[in-house]
Chain A
């Protein structure tokens, strides 16, 4: 766990630094799901960075595509490509677009950026894999604003009907979305009860507790139904002056703020 915490701290620092140097927004959104991504990529997913297209790999789909930087940075630390490459973010001709496009580096499975597509894409993948008798597993990360989209709930009704137990949905439940509080804009709670009622094996965890996340993902392996993990998170997690401040949905940190962040993360 110590290791995962250290990895996550480094990822958080790089997220701040890349955001500052390349003017990439959505930092709060990225920090919110950092621990979920590090847990997945170091402890859960069957992936090989050297063979990103291996046939038996597990698939991770980022529904909240505006947090692309969190995915790119996690992949870089996991060894898919050099960390320095992240600094090409958003420049002309770059693979690292503000939302993952078709030129994104191997390891990024699908295009994202229009919210509410990923659970449906993954349901189709999971269904196809089952029909073919394949053993791949499919993980989807969605924002709590993203699940406003009707398509999410269409997939939520479909997947249990076909017992897609190779599918895991994770909701990054940070209580904030683009312009306000998620539970005020839409009636979300009790969110775990909702998914349960839709037929998902549902687990609610602290989305910044690596051990709790690992246990939830372990439990997800042995279910007969699709699994939904409601991860209670904090937007901007890890940097005190960003936590729960939705200005960091768009704001870019200054050089000084990046230094302050580095210190708070306990990095030299």
Chain B
């Protein structure tokens, strides 16, 4: 996904002189093409993420459309207050890119994990939050984020994420995208966990349930039209995300229904409220977090969804 990000950014920056990238000493050679197209607008800000966030806001105030880019915890948590005041409060069109989000960098340990980032960004007024599932979703959504001209958090993966769509999907910022229409159960997946959601979709089919599968890439603003219809269309809603089960996408769905006084069975799957360490890969990290197909199916069985 990071390669797709660099490629798309290069394409966009060659047509738009206002696009600028600040990166925090990450991505060896990743931005070589961008440097050729936009040498004065490709800035290594050093390992100084707080300064980078405020500088990007300053550049935005002067008319640029800046991106800031580094590993997710360093582009969201390390510089959180700079994002809050200089980007969100002053409402500057900076796109904050978190690469290797969730457990992508599993084996690098908790310093490199991020499953608090959506919760942090959700709590900031003016902030938009988009989490593409794969490189195609990333490339389709990116120009739409620039068009927003507003603060945005773009939560992406690392590399070699499986392609989740067989044809290019007509994604729209802020709108849930139905990949497979279905009934009685809907699986709402946010971001790079989508392959697990697709497995779950298959598993439900084997149990005779034709579930609806949805790519819910935009967490903020939440697609209330979809959710409000879903409340009457489905008996059960399943949310999936590679984020703390508290404070993220599933929580946003629950909060929406609570505010609307709608009683819906929402089953949230995410990372439990504990640090995940001593793991060799994203695969084993997901198992340790209970975010694997077996654990999800067993939980759904115990709740009589299956």
Give A contacts to B, CB under 8 Å: 65, 90-95, 97-99, 101-103, 111-116, 145-146, 148-150, 177-180, 185-186, 246-247, 249-250
Contact assessment for A146 and B47 in the assembled complex, using a CB-CB cutoff below 8 Å: yes
Contact assessment for B109 and A101 in the assembled complex, using a CB-CB cutoff below 8 Å: yes
When chains A and B are docked, how far (Å) is the Cα of A145 from the Cα of B70? 15
Contacts between chains A and B (CB distance < 8 A), count: 83
Contact assessment for A97 and B27 in the assembled complex, using a CB-CB cutoff below 8 Å: no
Q: 24 A–B contact pairs at CB < 8 A?
A: A92-B280, A93-B278, A94-B280, A97-B277, A99-B109, A99-B111, A99-B112, A102-B277, A111-B111, A112-B111, A113-B110, A116-B47, A145-B25, A145-B47, A148-B25, A149-B47, A150-B48, A150-B51, A177-B46, A177-B47, A179-B25, A179-B29, A179-B44, A186-B48
Chain A residues near B229 (CB-CB < 8 A): none
Contact assessment for B280 and A91 in the assembled complex, using a CB-CB cutoff below 8 Å: yes
Known A178-B25, A178-B26, A179-B27: A101·B110 in contact at CB below 8 Å:
yes
Known A65-B111, A101-B109, A113-B111: A148·B280 in contact at CB below 8 Å:
no
Contact assessment for B28 and A178 in the assembled complex, using a CB-CB cutoff below 8 Å: yes
Top 9 nearest A-B pairs (CB, nearest first) are: A113-B111, A148-B46, A148-B47, A178-B25, A114-B111, A148-B48, A99-B109, A92-B280, A101-B277
State which size class the interface on B falls in. 20 to 34
Contact assessment for A145 and B111 in the assembled complex, using a CB-CB cutoff below 8 Å: no
Residue B146 is within 8 A (CB to CB) of chain A in the complex: no
Interface string of B15-26 (1 = CB under 8 A from A): 000000001011
Given A111-B111, A179-B23, A179-B26, 11 extra CB contacts under 8 A: A65-B111, A90-B107, A97-B109, A99-B109, A101-B278, A102-B277, A113-B108, A150-B48, A177-B25, A179-B44, A246-B28
Known A92-B278, A97-B109: A114·B78 in contact at CB below 8 Å:
yes
- Residue in A98, A111, A186 whose CB lies within 8 Å of B107: A98
When chains A and B are docked, how far (Å) is the Cα of A246 from the Cα of B28? 9
Contact assessment for B28 and A249 in the assembled complex, using a CB-CB cutoff below 8 Å: yes
Known A92-B279, A98-B109, A101-B278: A115·B284 in contact at CB below 8 Å:
no
When chains A and B are docked, how far (Å) is the Cα of A249 from the Cα of B23? 18
Chain A residues near B111 (CB-CB < 8 A): 65, 99, 111-114
Residue B100 is within 8 A (CB to CB) of chain A in the complex: no
The distance from the CB of B21 to the nearest CB of chain A, in whole angstroms, is: 13
The distance from the CB of A86 to the nearest CB of chain B, in whole angstroms, is: 15
Residue B50 is within 8 A (CB to CB) of chain A in the complex: yes
Interface string of B99-134 (1 = CB under 8 A from A): 000000001111110000000000000000000000
When chains A and B are docked, how far (Å) is the Cα of A178 from the Cα of B78? 18
